[in-house]
Structures are given as structure tokens and as C-alpha cells.
Structure 1
Amino acid sequence: MGSLLRKVDALLQTQDWAPNIRQLREDVGSISTKLVKLSEIHDPPLTVNYWMKDARELSYDIEDCVDQFIHADADAKMTWDDEISGFCTRAEEVRERYDRFKLEYVLSRPAVLNTVANYRLGTVNSEHKSIVPAGMEGATNEVLGWLEPNGDDEKELQLRVVCILGGVGVGKSTLVQKLWRKLAEEFECRAFVQVGKTPDMRMILRSILSQVRPHQLPEVCLVPNLIQDIRKYLQDKRYFVIVDDIWSVSVWDALSRAFSEGYCCSRIITTTTIEDVALACCSYDPVHIFKMKALSADQSKELFSSTVFFSAKEHPQQFHNISDVITSKCGGLPLAITCIATLVASLPERIQQWEYVQNFLCNNLRTNSTSEEVMKQVLKLCYCCLPQCMKACLLYISVYPENYMILKEDLVKQWVVEGFICTIEGRDQIEVARNYFDEFLSLGLIQRIDINSKKKGLSYALHPCVFDFITCKSLEDNFITIIDYSQSTIPLTDRIRRLSLHFGGATYATTPATIGLSQVRSLAFMGLLNCMPSLEEFKLVRVVILHFRCDDGDIALTEICGLHLLRYLQVRCNATVLLPDQIQCLKYLETLEIMARVGPVPSGIVNVSSLLHVHLGDKTNSTQGPVESSSDDSSSLSFPPIFLRSFELLPPICIFSRLPMWIRQLHKLCVLKIVVTELQWDDISVLTELPELTSLSLYVLTRPIAKYRFFRKMEFPALEYFKFVCSVLLLGFQEEAMPNLRRLKIGFNAQRGWKYSYMLPGIQNLLNLKEVAAKIGADTDAEESDRRAAESAFKNAFSIHPCRPSLNVKRVGLVGGQYDSSSKHNWSQQKVFLEQDKFHSETQKEEPFVEQSKILGKMPNDTKHATTWIPQFCNTTEGLIPPTCEPDCDPPPLLTSLLCSTAEPLIPLTHGVDCDSGHTIMRAHPTAVLQRNHSPWKGPVYTSSRHSEKGQESASGSAAALVLCFAAIAATIASPFHRVFAFL
């Protein structure tokens, strides 16, 4: 009831309410207190369950009424007093039943121990995640011996299937996770999938195909086609596949048809609790069936002590006997021991708490209980000891199907929007929700699934026995109504508050017509698009999660405009999603996540002032063409969403020509992924004003101006991740820039004829850098030698880095979007003179490039005496010098071409980068005849800078030296008609 109380309190502060609303606030507060206390009872009587259900339904109805009142017109508000009076009557009835059922006596029973009030978050030692149950290393080595080829004979090179057999919670998933981390990188293709009791074969096969062939996602959804595609792709490839949690022989028979046999030394690992399934996996040859054994008594004690305390040696003597009894009741199951140990560690070190845990297990478990019985009681104890807000968070995970891959940040945001998170002083709700998630991870209720070994921990799933437990509990409490197409009977309640439709494996399924949808607060749908109900029926929905598939066509989400209470919308699909132009009418929308191809983005998306998180685009989609805004209003905002925390527009979505100035007002922004058509280095100063920015990804579609951008001291102080993708690499780092940067990703193109002896100047100043990744493409006319030079220079830049970060360099195609290589040497023809954007209010002078183009346009095609245009040339040299990365190299192609075939360059020129200003500079060779205005570069410096630090046009003093150089050249030419200059 926490969210309801907060809403009523907010209304009372803004309106002059009648006394009955204040009375209702008092009644609801009293009921909420009793509800929390009763929820802490283990095995409550039926009267308690009935009363708690009535209390929850009352709170839901009141909250729905309050939310509707906020959006109601004046006429509808006239009936508000009558509705409040009705709720007051219902609240009084609930309070009377509490007294009539004598529920206060239930709370006073001595058997009820207030373990919930004593539960402490984050008390498990920080090393608990690295604790490995004793005996796991031996099991790992034994299975590894079966997987590794022993010799080169034909039998060892054949496909081999190893099955791990064991009971629930014995550690099968932990073992295969260790094997995955050890072996996955050694195979050309690899995949990790979980099956479960009610598998969706389409999703499992699509997952396998997307993992073994990540750069070409499957377009078909039919099982036979998917099997054929997987088998064809794996033919003659060495692959490694883990299929976890198989429950039937028929499922394995279907999956096995996708794996081609051969002599490439491929390996498959399966896990199951059923011996017949294990035999089927291994072709009924038990040689490669590994039977997981429960831990011994000593191993169980060691795991328990290492989890509760820092080590078994620090185990206090007074707890020895109790801990022996507790571990014996866990039946040697690592999952049960970890869960109980983490629970005990979260309680105060008082003998009464430990005795309560011991008595609960002894009273509910027999001496020879099955693993399923042990896990059920352990989970029941653990759940009862959780605070009420954590119970709601745990039950909510059942909204996802069994073995569904869960992203932590998705779940955290959903918990917050649902109102489950109680604010703790000094910490925001997102931080508290993340702590709850980590606590579930410590308890073993949530497990990591390392599908991508390079991105460990990004995906999570519930343990199957945990999923069964919370599904039953959700149904019992009418917390979430789950409708699975595979169920023969569907238990329905009179009022559904949260609805989850698991239609993943169905080709046709419908929502039962007997259920009412008007009071649904949260909707989750997984399945085919034609099975999804109309969103117009969900008038009070706050959370919408749509994970669907369709054969073809675009998906228009026009129906969401009528969901006035919508706060969270997530869509994942294989189609193109069209967002409505009226999306700004969703004034309470906090999270908008479209993990799919996106049509034209409505400009009103940035006008939703309540937005906290925006994610548009599918990172796995690389074939979609450019996506732009449906209008031009997104660049200029009077009232931007100032509380925005993450703003991610993945390529090819580009709705900004330049970085909008209003971004500097987003002081809460932590994550920014954005694509811009053009980038001027001064635009980046907009981002340096964001104090909480920790992750930045910049994608630039066109080549920036010919000037380095050096990140200065203490710019981006909080940034930990930086990704920059552009056709050319013009970045440098001064001392103490990006002091907390840990991960750096770069994408650029190798250019024809460029030498890369000096790349990423100042990279050694990033003193916390741990990981570096680069994708190096090639310009359309670049050769293999150019690509090798770029790769070598990039690697050399990090060879002397003091932190020795890990380096991963890959070759890709063309990096960048709209760059035309045919004009790369003629910068005057390139689109570098930017049109004035609405969001740049200050007036700018005409770009020098425009004036330069005019002057060059006046030049005749035939040769002309040098002295007639030297003064004009001196005014147009800015921007003509293309960027490069080295202080000593051959002259740029453009300057080389300034001399015709009969001209002799009297002054050899080289070029490089000024580390202080970031300008591309030119200098004469030290042996040149003319030497004046020497710099640390040991030669006359000719700068190509267009603007000074104040942003005004400046004529560098060294530019005058360039004039003198060309004047001297002209004066020494014997025949001016034989020694001439010409432009390309």
C-alpha cells in the first residue's frame, strides 16, 4: 500500500478535501500496518489469508480511483465524494473483520518470530560470489576430460554429447556454467540455452541460431525451418552447445535434429533430472553420463561456514551444533545450503535467530526428504523472512516465462514503476532496487547466465524450482495471473490486477473472454502478434511488456495513446515498430524501450517531461536504413525532460543533425547513446556539463572538421565507458582527462595513403583504462596496406600504456554513414559547412569553407601565375589540410597536388597535431631553405585552425609564414609560366 499512501498524501497537500478523505487516509494507514505484520507470519491460517486478500483488493480499487480522478474532467469529479464515502465504508468493514477474526491474537503467538524486522541487506561477505562448493572442481575436471579429444583418431573427432544427471539444486547449472567459461572461447560457434518443463521450441531454436550466427538473425519462425538453418550453418564447423534443464525425451529428439554430426570435434552438454532423458541424450550409452552427487557432511559445513563467515575457521563455537543440524537438513544440496546460509548471515548473530531456522527445517523436513521437498521448504523459509517490499519484487519475476532471460536493469525499473520500492534515506529508488536484485542473487534465487562470455552477468534467470515456488505463491495471493497456452485448466480470479500471457509456443491463442481486463494494472505478453489482445481494453494499465513475433509488416502502436496512466512500455519484436505522433500525450510515461527496428521517430518523444529512460533501436539490427525524426522540432525544446537518466537512440536512428543544446540541462543523465549527422568539436562541450554521465556513445555519420579534439583536464569526471564511431579518428587526451574511464570503444576507417605513426595522442593519460576495443573499417578506395597501417598504429598507441589494458581489434566493413569517398581529398566539396540548426541560438558567421569554395570557383581551369592568387590562397587555407595522426609523414595529398607536374617543391612539408590546441599543423622540413618562427616541432608552423579558443575567426601568425613561403617560391621561379600551381 506504500504507493497508495504516497498518492493520497500528495492529493491532500494540493486540494482542500472534505473530512471523509482524511478519514479514509487514516483507515488505509491502519490497514496497511496490520497487513505488513500479518504478511510476516509463517503458515498463516486461512482467516489471515482471506483478510489480507480483501485488504489488498481495497487498496487497488482506491488507487485506481485516485489515478482516474487526476485525469477526470470537472463533471466526473462531482461524484468523487460519493466514491470516497463508499471506500470509507469498505475500509470500516475490513477493520471490523480484523477484530472479529481476532487476528491480533495471531500476531501475539510466541511461534511468530520477527525475523523480517531483523533482515539486513548486503550483509553477506563480498567474496560469496566466488565461493565454489567443495567437489565442484573435481567434477569439472572429470567432465573436461570427457570433452577434450584424446588423440586424432576418427572417433575422438566425432560429435560427442555429455549429459549431467542430478536432482534439483544439486549444482548442475553451476557446473555447466564453469564448463562454459572454460571452453566457450575455444570453439568457432557456441550457444547456451535453457529448456524447462514447458519449452517454447521456436524461442529456443532462434536463440541457438542467433548465438552461433550472431551477425545474421533468423527471419523465419517455423520450427522445421529453424532446425534446417542451424544444421546447415553448423555443417563443417566446430561448435559447442549447452542445453540446460531438459525434462522430456521428445524435446531432446527435436533439438538433436538441429545439430549436424561430423568430424570437427564438436561437443554438446545437456543437463536433466530424469535418467531416461540422460540416456536419450547419449544415444542410450551411459558412458558419458555424469551423475552429480550431493555434498558430504564436511563439504556442506564448509560451504555453509564460508558463506556465513569469511571462512570456516572463523565459525563461532556457539553456533557449531546448530549449523550442523541446519546443513544436515539441506540434504547436501549446494543451492539449499547457499540460500539458508545467506539468510542466516542477513540476520543478527543471536542464538534465537539460528534456533528459529533450525526448528523450522526440523519441523518441516523428514530425514530422507527428496531434493524437491528440501528446496520447497528452504524457499518457503527464505521468502517468509524477506521484507514485504522484497517479497513483492520476487513474486513479480513470475511475470516472465520459465527460463526466460532477464536483464537486471529492466527488472529494476519495473519494480520502481510498480511501486514496490521503499525509499531509504540517502538513496534513490533505483539504487535500492538494484540492492534487492543483488540480494536475490546472493540468496541463489536468481542465477547468472553467461551466454556471452565477454559480457558476463548481463543475463539472468530464475532457478526452475524458484520459478515454480513464486508462480504458485503469486496465484495464491492473486498477485499475478498467469495464462499459459499449454495449461489445460486456467484458474481465474474475479479481479485480475497483473496479467501475464505466455503464448510463446502457440500459433493461435486468445485471452479467455470471461476475464475482465479493465482493472489490469500490468500486462506482459510473450507470443505471436496475432494472439495479442487489443490494448484499448486495458484502461488502467501502468506497465506494458510486449515481446512478440510476427511474420511481416510494420506494427503501429497507436493504441497506447489511450493508456493515460502508462508509465512503462517495453517492446521487443522482429518487426518495425511505428510510434504514434501523439506520444507526448502520455504525460506519466517514465520508461520507453523499443528493442526493435523503429520507423520515423515522433518529435514529441522528447516533450514527455516525466521521461526517465528512453531506448530506441535494436543493436543486433545492422541492415535497416537511416531513421529520422518525423519532424524537425526535436532539436529545440523549451521544457526538456530534465529528470532523464538514460537516453539511447541506437544507429541508424538519427533525429539530430548536431548535439542539441538542451542536453546540457539534463543533470541527472547517466547514459547517453546518440547518433548525429555532423559533429563540431565545440558541441562536445555541451556534454562536459553533465556531472553524472557515466556512459557515452557517440556515432557521427559525416567526417568532422579537420581538427583534433583534445579532452581537457577533468572533463567527464564520472565517465566510465566511452564509445566513439566516426569515419576518421581525431581524438586526443590531455592529462587528467576522463579520470575514471575504464572501457573505451572506437570505430573508424582506414584511409588511403595515410600514415598512422601518431594515433590517439595522450592516450596514456587515461590512468584507469582497463578494456579497449576497436572496429577498424576501410574507406572505399583504401587498400590492404592502409588497413594494416591503421591497425598497427592503433595497437602501438596502447603498447606503452601504463595500465596495459586488454585490447581487442576487429576488422569490419565501412564505418560511418554518409561520407562520400569521391570527395575526400576535396574538403571544399564535402558537407562540412553545417546549416544553421534551430538549437544553436547564437548567430554564426559564414563558414570559411563557403568562402573558400567561392574563391576556388573563380579559379580558371588552366594554369595561372602563382603571384596572382597567393593572397587569396592565404585566406582559404583553413580547412584545406586533411586530418592525420602523425608528426612526421609525407605531405597530404591535397598540398602535394598544389604543385603541378613541372613544379618542384622547394620546401618539403610535413604535418601533425598540436597537443595543446588540437589543431592540425604544417611545418617545413628542418632542412628547408626558409626557416622562421620555429616551434617545438623544429620548423615553421602553419596552422589550419579556423577558430581561436574564443570561437572567433583568427589569422594565425604562422599563416603569414605560409604566405612568405609561397612568395619566396614564386620569386625563385625562373619562368612563371613553366612553374605554376593548380588546384584539383
Structure 2
Amino acid sequence: MEHAVVSAAEGAIHTLLGKLGAILVQEAQLLGSVQVELQYLKDELESMTAFLQDLAERNEHRKQVKIWMKQVRELAYDVEDCIDEFKHHLGDSRGVVSKINRYSGNHFIFGAAGNSVAYDTPTSLLNYDVRITALFPERKQLVGVEARQGNLLQWLMDKHLQKLRVISIFGFGGLGKTTLAMTTYQSLATNGSFQCQAFVTVSQRFDVKVLIRDILLQIIQPVHQQGHRASAEVGESSEEGMLKGIETWGVGELASMLRQKLENKRYLIVLDDIWSIAAWEAFRFSLPDSNNGSRVLVTTRIRTVAHSCCLHEYDQAYEIEPLTNYESRDLFFKRIFGSSVNCPENLQEISEKILGKCGGAPLAIVSIAGLLASKLVHSKDQWEKIYGSLGTELETSPSLERLKKILELSYNHLPYHLKTCFLYLSIYPEDHNIRRKSVLRRWVAERFVTEKRGLSVFEVAESYFDEFINRSIIQPVEISFTGKVKTFQVHDVMLEIIVTKSIEENFITLVGEQYTLVPQEKIRRLSVHSGGVRDIGNLDALKTLAEVEFTQSTSHCISELGKLSRLKKLGVMMFVDDDNSWESLTFALGNLSGNLCSLLLWRPDGAMNLDSLDALSRPPMFMESINFRGQLRKLPKWIPLLSNLTELTLRATELSDKEDLKVLAQLPSLLYLRLHHSAYIENEFVIAASEFPCLKLLAIHLAIPIAWKARFHKGALPRLEKLELSLFQGTSIQEISGIEFLRNLKDVVICACPSNAMRRIVQSLKVYASNNFDKPTVIFKEKQWEPAQSSTDPPLDHRGNPFDHPF
């Protein structure tokens, strides 16, 4: 778990450094002694960050160093809590100063770094390649290889292409890339298709000299010819004489000799397990193209490496596919029962669940099948227990050691700044479709991502995400028509590994399903999964519950929300539609009304229960932000009472009563109003004088196939600064008038499909804007919307997000 300790500790300090820097810059009037202490902490923590990054490059650490890194992480969390409290009480900071002094006095932990690293040497003298069994596959036990060899053999044996062709196999760790490459290599070694062949494993850390020397020895003294030494003794002796003293040769001499030996020969070289473009570059200049049908076969987990190896149009990058359900069952049952037809009927259902967790990865299937086969008795209860505790089994079972080490290679190879972001994905439950944009925002909020020169913080976060896709350690689920990943999953077995790392290092605390709330230390991040909601009412100090999903009619669990008396922010997704569940939610909201400031209520697959919402006993008078998503038809009766409401987002609510717009227009504190995707379906949008007195942003996304008209009377929207209009395909704007009356308006942005009618609207807006005293900017953004599935609604995914517009 060394890498988890390093990444978690480094991530904690990175977050803290951002907050300390912000305070020191923004709060120039700090008490002198406090500012000195804060600056001291910042300097010390910067040194710690550099030191932890150095540690991340190592594979193993002594126990003392691991303990020290854990202490650093916990200290960073404590200091961050203190800084948050300091910011909250700034101006009356006497109660916090002593805490800051106490933490800055903990320099004995920092000072231990130098002593610890001096003695930090690897504790294990045994170093072996955990992929070794893939290099010697037993053909009788293989499943699905022949089906995947077809294209490979065709590309390798193509007599019409005489140029040197590079073929790369890439995909997630454990999918069988090495096994496929080796079986293909072996099948070609026996039919004389190539004059010489060599197979070498590159791996993450490699020695070019050793690998080139290995290739030379294989092509000069082929393994399959070693038994016939007598017949070629003279020839081989001369070859071996040329390699005399090869151990002392430099890279240049070895590369030159390799080119010489391969020149004018039809050869096959397999470079297995390449992790970087630099590794490929180290070899490719030693591989001549004699225009005689030579081939190079590469395996890698990293997409960009695979494509970098294939520079020519005739090269081939092949993404290996997981086993099909049929192939998975065949391999699984053969390993346990000797035949795919011998599985007892009572184990069929749990077998499917276990195979679902394996995700078609042969290594996972074989490893877990080996674990189950080692049990003397095959009972459903025992298999259920192993299925529910796979994370523990990965840590303790020798049968799963190889699987764990193979998958950990992908994690350990991540740069230090990506490890914390990847660990964060352990907050999501198994088989959960994770929204990419939600994850990016969370990374940014946690300060795992910082700006780089020329890139915004969100662009950096995007690059981090793209790197995970590139490394094949997350699996895209839903792709937008523009090619962007919308939702994704983490492979179940990989998720077990990062969950184990995160829990052991107190990076997260999980509640529900197979997890129990028995934290050994302070809770830093809490993720509540299915089954844990029933006890959530015990978290009476909780202030933010950003997202809780109810997928079953469990009114008791929903009522538990009402016990969170200090809750200020709540997000609820209601996949249920029965009256009891909605009444329980309304009851809970009534109990929370005294503190609740932010509410997200989402009904992805139907209509909200307006009768229940209307029956709210105590309106949330301190509410500042509301986000309603799902069919509502009419605003709840208590909305006009929300005098503190500053932000309102409505999506697919289908409001049609003009009185609802009047209600919103009278809210005295409303600053931001977003009407997304059929939120308000009346074709006329009229704002009278004095309405929306404080509004700064008005964003409207039109989705109904009618000609929309907007009219702003003189004196309306006196503080509006930005107007955003987005149009789905089939919608249009007939008229927008009154722009010249919006005296504080700075920007008008229209996003729509280009058309002559739209260009006329934009031109007329520019004319109106020119008559506005502040001369607002009118911007037209061309957008090709994905065709709608319905004449009344844009396409929405299972969470209510439009398929083609950012959340």
C-alpha cells in the first residue's frame, strides 16, 4: 500500500497548500504572529510535497517510513480543518491561533524525513515477473484465443505487404494480451514463416542493453534449434564468435549488431508489455525494413503507446476485447469443475454474479476460479461470502496474489498527481455509471488539480481523465456524438484494489453494502452506498449530503434524512414514485427547513409528486439554492415565501402557467435563473417593469418545436448582466425585443444550429444592443445538436442529463 500512502499524503498536502496560499495572499491584515506561523507551515509543507513525490518513484518502503507518511497525511488533514475554521472565524481568530501554533510545532514529523529516507531501502530481495505464467500458456486450458488470433495471423502473414509492419495489441491489464502474443508467436515458430524470431518482455523498468542482447541471442541461437547443435556446429561457432564479449558492449554496438543480423532477413520480433513511447523509440531504429515481410508485434496497456508504434497506414493497432459471456462461463467452469456443463444448479446464479465482477478479464476469471477450486466444499454460502469480500481476498489469498500484482502495476505506474485522482473513484459503488463532468468538478474542488501555464484548472482535469482512458484503467460506457466520454465505470476488480487502498490509508470511509461504519481514525471523506442510508440519521453533525439515490420504495430510509438537523446542502435522486416515499421525503424536508440552504431534487424517470411537495409543513425559509429536475408542471405553493433564494435551476419541469413565471419574477433576492430543457414551455416569455429586480444571469435552453418570443419591458431586469439562449434542433426564435432597455447587460450568447433565420435574429439583436447604453456584446455559437428522440423533449440520459449538453 506504499503508493496509496504516498498519493493520499501528497494529495492532502497539495490541497492544504492551496488554502494556505490563498489566505496569505488575500488576508494581508492577519495577526503578525499568525501570518508568520502560516508562512512557516506553507514552507514546510512544500518541502514535504517534494519529498513525497520522490517517494512515489520507489516501489517499496520500510515500515517506519510508511508510518511517517501516514502521520504526514493525518497532520495535513488536521491543519486543513484548522485553516477552514480560521477562515470561518477570521476577524475573531483568538481561539484558532493556539491550534496553528500547535501544528507548526509538529516539525519533528517533518524533520524525521531526512533520517527516514537515509535508511529507506527495499525490504524484499525477491524480484519476479508476475506475468511469467502468461509466457508459457497451456493451450488446452485457453479460451477465446483462436477467435482473437484470426486478424493477428492475417496481418502477420499478409504476403501482399512486404514492408515492415508493426502490430500493437492494447487493452486493460489482465485481458490476455501477453497470452495472445505468445500463442501467436509459438504457432508461427513451428511453420517456418519467418527466418528468425525473438520474444522479449520490456516492462515498466527495462535495460535496453539487456533486451537487445536477449534478442540477438534468440535470433542467432534459436531455442527450437538448440537440440540440433551437432548438425550446425561450425556455423553456430562462427556466429557465437561474433558475440564474444557481448556483455561489455554499449547500446550503440548492440543496436548496430542487431540491425546487421536482421538485415535482409524476414523476422518476427515481439516486444511484450511496453509502457512508454520512449521504450518503443529505444528499439525501433534497430529494426530494419528490408522489404521482405518482416513483422513487429507489440503489447501495451496504453492506447497512445499502441498508436505511436503504428505510424504507417498499413500498421495495425488492435484493441483486445474482453471474453464474451459464453467464453467467460466456459473458462470459469472448466477451471473449477473440469467442464462447462458440470456446474451444480444452485451455484449458477452466484457464478453469474462472480463473472460479472470479472468483467470478461481472463486473468480475473482464472484467479478467482482458482480460489474457489481450492475450497474443499463448493457451497452457495461460501461462494457468496467470497463474492462479498473479494477486496479482503485480494489482500490475503495466495490464489489472487498474481491478479492483484498485475492490476497494481497499472496503479503504481501512474504519475503521483494522477494517483490521488484515481483513488478518489473508490467513493463510487460497484457497476456505477460515473459522470465524467461530475468527477472533474470534484477533483477540482478537492484541489487535486491545479492550473498549468496556458491551461485552466478544468482543462488540466480533462487531461487527467483522458490519461486514465489512455491507460485503459477506466471503461467508457456512454459516448456523446462528439466523441466525448459522458459516463464510465471502473473495472470491478480494479475497484476492489483501490477501495482497499483508500480505506486502509483513511482516504475514504465507506458505509453500506459490505462496508460497516467502524472507522479506525477520523472520517475524512464519507461515501454512503446502498444499505447504509438506513443508518444515515446517526450522522447528526453532517452538513453536506451532495447526492443520495433512492431506487427502492424505502420510506424508512428516506425519513432518516430528517434526522440530519445540521444539514445545509442536500441532493436527492428519486427513482421511486409511490406516495409513501414522497411523503417521507416531504416530512424529512420539513424537519430540515430550519438549516437547509441548498436543495437538489431530481426525478429522472417521471414526474415529481407535487401534492406531497405542496404539503411541506415548514417551508425552508433560509433556502439559497434550489435545483428541480423532472416533470413538475407547477411550482410548489411555498416558493413565493423563499425571500433568501439567490439561485434557481429548473430542468424538464414543463411549467406552463404564466403565473409561475410571475412568481419567480417577484423573488426579491434571486440572482441566477436557469431554465433548461423544457423547464418553461410557454412560447412567450414576457418580463414586465420591476420584475426580477436582482437577477444577474438568465439562461434559457429551448427544446419545444415552436417559434419562441421574448419581450423585456422598460424597467425589467434592472441588474441583468448576461443572457444565454440555447436552442435544440427544431426550435426557433421568432422575436426578441427590449434588449435596449436592459441597462446593465454585458453579454448576450446564443447557441444554436446555423440557419438564415437564426442569423437574422442575431443581426437584429446586435442592432438592439447598439441602442443599449452599455453596448452589450452579442455572440453566436454554432452548435450541431444530436437529433431529439421526442418532439417535445430533448434526449436525456438515465440521470436526466441531455445527451449533448454539459451538465
Q: TM-score, normalised by structure 2?
A: 0.48
Higher relative contact order (CA 8 A, sep 6+): 2
Structure in which a larger fraction of residues adopt helix: 2
Which protein shows a greater Rg? Answer: 1
